[in-house]
Amino acid sequence: MSNLEQTLSIIKPDAVERNLQDEIKKKFVENGFSIKDEKKIQISKNEAEEFYKVHQSKPFYGELCNYLSSGPIVVMILEKENAVIENRKLMGATDPSKAENGTLRKMYGISIDKNSVHGSDSLDNAKIEIEFFFKN
């Protein structure tokens, strides 16, 4: 049965700074994702706080929002069968040092903060996150 989904992906400042966006986009395409929309932007700290509000109570929230707003990012709508879980598999564990070989965070991530990519963690959040960046 077909289960075509869309998920939101962000190439984070550490990866854009190292000019890795084309290489990372190629990995998505090679792994069967289509990039339905994309843009390179820089967001404000307020926007980062809104985007990451599910993490509001976490000790790393402030740093996380400073970081996401610290430089240009590439935001993308990715489409594939079971895109949410498939993207999470391709990204690997949040902490690059714990991510499996071949995953994006293992290949490109520097630290748990500078882990190169973000991906929606559920279909509900994917809808919210896509709307956040791609509302008209």
Contact positions toward ligand CMP, by CB under 6 A?
Answer: 55, 60, 64, 94, 112-113, 115, 118
Active site residue 55: no
| Nearest-approach distance from CB 22 to ligand CMP, in angstroms | 21
| Nearest-approach distance from CB 68 to ligand CMP, in angstroms | 8
Closest residue by Cα to residue 79 from 15, 1, 7: 7
Task: Select 2 or 57, whichever has its Cβ closest to ligand CMP.
Answer: 57
Closest residue by Cα to residue 5 from 41, 47, 34: 34
Task: Select 77 or 136, whichever has its Cβ closest to ligand CMP.
Answer: 77
6 CB neighbour count, 10 Å cutoff: 21
CB 45 within 8 A of CB 66: yes
CA distance 55 to 65: 10
Q: Which of 25, 80, 106, 118 is catalytic?
A: 118
| Nearest-approach distance from CB 2 to ligand CMP, in angstroms | 27
Q: Which residue is nearest to ligand CMP (CB)?
A: 118
Please state whether beta strands 34-41 and 73-81 pair in parallel, antiparallel, or not at all (unpaired): antiparallel
Catalytic residues: 118
